[in-house]
Amino acid sequence: MGSFRDSSILIVETGRTTIRAGLGVHELLKAPAVEILARVGFRQITGESSNGVDTNGKKLSNDSDVSRAPSSPNRLPYHPNPSAKVNDYLVGTQLDEALATGQDILISWPFADGDVRDWTQAEALWKYVIFNQLQIKRTQNESPVILSMSAGLSRDLLEQVCQLFFERFNVAGFAVLERPMAQIYATGLLSGVVVDVGYEQSDISPIYDGFILQNIRTSTAIGIRDCENYLANILRSNQSVMAAASPPDSPVDSQTIQQFLLDFAQHIWREGLVRVPSDGQTAEVPEDEGVTDIAAVLVAGKEKAVIETGMKKKATAKASAAEQARAREIEALDLVTVEFRGHSITVGKERHRFCEPLFDPTLLKPIQQVPVSDTQDQPLPLQDAVGLAVRQADVDQRQYIWQGLFVTGDLGNRVKGIGIALQSRLSPYILSNPEQPTDVQPRSIRVASVPEYFAEFREKGDRLAAFLGTSIVAKIIFNESQTKSFVSKLEYDEKGPHAIIEMSPALF
């Protein structure tokens, strides 16, 4: 079994709502070249309503900018169409443009359940990424593919994925990696608990010594959408926001106001303006004690910011006592002015409440936009879902798992302090556990992150951890002539789709 050229290796990370991909594995691992929403569109012929999904006329950005009108409160929409062919579906920019012009489009999210809801829709997405965005020619495809997907997929599903990539995309080799493993690899660890905060739910995967503890993996039906709804509701009490949402001289209807508030809430967290207080009440910023590691500052490319901060401090020192007092007062208010759709909007500390529903889902009950059904179980707070999952691990594994608490997903690097906030709320799960012997009693929880030395991933690595980890694994397995971790075209021809099971021992 030979090895492949680094430049030909294709990395495809498939999440619930986003697909990221790149061609080639380089010395300095690169960020994804392609990032699209994992959704497809089907033009309506019968006149059936698509519930106004994403028809606000603006092109959506490449993250979790997902439909505001799912088919039910806790599910992204899925519309099966048994007669549809791959080319019948609109994907990527083609779909964005159709929505922007107000066409009646049914949106489906084939990966939203963590597996594959619809194989034709899945093929349409992967085909678009590989042949349209990365410009690979099917007839001359020399690329081996490593695909990272959700953990715990069935053998039948893996065989079907393997068959699709070899027979429809003509790949030269194929490997599958579970996303939580890719995410923990990106931190340089082999044990930990990966907390992937998604759009409509958060996945929790305890990992020990390079293996996902499949029997205790869990998820809680709380995610970014809940946070956006919650902040949108809070912003209704901000006069500056409401004046922009519905100007006094030209008021708009309540639905338009709500959509404006949701879009503005999303804009705030995406711009990195949200900080999560660890104690759940106040956001304390530690005073700068001075630069102690000049080398680290230079490597991180932050010398300009450090110099500017130093100059600001010197100027403040010369200010009068009254001026200093006023500056402290402004700082305490924590006001920020945001430019949004032609408006200058001032928001204060209320923006830092964005993540509160993750830690206390009961806050969502009074919000009309996120109904909580009486028949539906209340989602577990994130800290309880994580704590209870790790508590199910063997006693002697827990102390190692707690040394790698890794919060990832789209909030990972845009919302400051989310890892620390979760860490502080998890302390009850390690402080009192009398059934454990003293020598294996966990004494602390360590927050993990993507190391700074991945230059292409600096400042965004925690969000792109799955892609980074998949790239690391690709570089190893496709260059190892003795490896049994991928299926070659020859092996596929000999054994068929079942070959993926034999070549992926870590999955089972």
| Residue 257 and residue 246 in contact, taking contact as beta carbons nearer than 8 Å | yes
* Shared domain check, 343 and 227: yes
- Write the CATH number for 265: 3.30.420.570
The predicted pLDDT at position 506 comes to: 52
Cβ distance 220 to 508 under 8 Å?
no
pLDDT confidence of residue 290: 40
In a domain, 67, yes or no: yes
Inside any domain, residue 379: yes
Q: Provide the domain count of the chain.
A: 3
Of 240, 414, 262, 412, residue with least CA distance to 339: 240
Note the pLDDT of residue 371: 47
Contact (CB, 8 A) for 156 and 119: no
Quote the radius of gyration of the chain (alpha carbons, Å).
Answer: 24
Residue 20 maps to a domain: yes
Within this chain, do residues 109 and 32 fall inside the same structural domain, yes or no?
yes
Query: Does one domain contain both 413 and 482?
Result: no
Q: Are residues 210 and 65 located together in one domain of the fold?
A: no
The strand pairing partners of 207, in sequence order, are 192, 212
Note the pLDDT of residue 277. 83
Same domain as 216, residue 163: no
State whether 138 and 272 are in the same domain. no
Maximum C-alpha span of the chain = 82
CATH of the domain at 496: 3.30.420.40
Q: Is residue 381 part of a domain?
A: yes
- Cβ-proximal residues to 151 (8 Å cutoff; 6+ apart), any chain: 178, 179, 180, 181, 203, 205, 212, 214, 217
Q: Are residues 225 and 268 in the same domain?
A: yes
Kindly give, in sequence order, each residue whose CB lies less than 8 Å from that of residue 330, ignoring residues fewer than 6 positions away: none
Output the pLDDT for position 436: 52
Burial 62-80 (b: 16+ CB within 10 A, else e): ebbbbbbebeeebebbbbe
Say whether both 300 and 432 belong to one domain: no
CA distance 508 to 488: 20
User: For residue 289, is it within any domain?
Assistant: no
> What is the helix (H) or strand (E) element at residue 388, kind and residue range?
helix 382-391
Note whether 37 and 110 are same-domain residues. Answer: yes
Tens digit of pLDDT at every position of the chain (508 positions): 456 777 789 999 999 999 999 998 877 788 899 999 999 999 876 544 433 333 233 333 333 345 433 333 446 888 988 999 999 999 999 999 999 998 899 999 999 998 999 999 999 999 999 999 999 888 878 899 999 999 998 999 999 999 999 999 999 999 999 999 999 999 999 999 999 999 999 999 999 999 999 999 999 999 999 999 999 999 999 999 999 999 998 889 999 999 999 999 999 999 999 999 876 443 333 333 343 343 444 444 454 454 455 556 556 666 677 777 766 766 777 889 999 999 999 999 999 999 999 999 999 988 844 444 444 568 999 999 999 999 999 999 999 999 999 999 988 778 888 999 999 999 889 865 555 555 666 778 999 999 888 888 877 768 899 999 999 999 888 876 565 788 889 999 999 999 898 776 454 3
* Claim to verify: residue 415 and residue 390 sit in the same structural domain: yes
The answer to whether residue 1 sits within a structural domain is: no
Considering the domain architecture, whether residues 323 and 392 belong to the same structural domain is answered as: no
Tell me, rounded to whole angstroms, the distance of Cα 448 from its chain centroid.
16
Q: How far is residue 96's CA from residue 141's CA, in Å, rounded to a whole number?
A: 28
288 falls within a domain: no
Terminal-residue alpha carbon distance, the chain: 23
**Per-residue model confidence (pLDDT) at position 440:** 65
Please indicate, yes or no, if residue 348 is contained in any of the structural domains. Answer: yes
Angle at 501 between CA 115 and CA 136, to 5 degrees: 65
Same domain, residue pair 435 and 500: no
**Angstrom distance (rounded) from CA 204 to CA 220:** 8
Q: Which domain holds residue 125?
A: 6-182+455-507
